[in-house]
Amino acid sequence: MFTLQCQSTRDIRKHSYYTAENEVLLMAATQFQVMGCLNQGNLHIVQLEETCPPFPLLQPVPVVIPKPISPTSSKASTTTAVVTTKAKKQTQPSKFQ
């Protein structure tokens, strides 16, 4: 049995066949440090604590908060932003130089 101290787990009890169990989902390659071991007869308990990897494998996901939906009216207007850029004129080196 493992006891985990984590920051990045997700509870999956609602999606698990064993709803009475405290099952969690871990990100792949999550790293742990063993904090302790207990052996009592046929019961082995390993205490693990999540550590920060020296090189993160994933960038943090930004939290996007959607804007509230406002009621539409018959005179609803939309605006569109158009961005234009001028292309730089490219110069080719002359063959006769």
Does residue 24 lie within any of the structural domains?
yes
pLDDT, tens digit, for every residue of 19-76? 888 888 988 888 999 999 999 989 999 999 999 888 877 777 777 888 888 777 555 5
Q: What is the spatial distance between Cα 13 and Cα 84, in angstroms, rounded to a whole number?
A: 51
The torsion angle over the Cα atoms of residues 28, 29, 35 and 36, rounded to 10 degrees, is 70
Decide if 78 is inside a domain. Answer: no
Task: Decide which of 89 and 56 is more confident.
Answer: 56
Report how many domains make up the chain: 1
Residue 20 lies in a domain: yes
* Residue 47 domain boundaries: 2-51
Q: pLDDT tens across 11-21, in order?
A: 898 888 988 88
> Is 95 domain-assigned?
no
- Look up the pTM and report it: 0.51
Q: Confirm whether 60 is domain-assigned.
A: no
Q: Hey, what are 40's tokens?
A: 């009592």
Q: Are 89 and 71 in contact (CB under 8 A)?
A: no
Q: Is the pLDDT of residue 4 over 60?
A: yes
Domain assignment present for 83: no
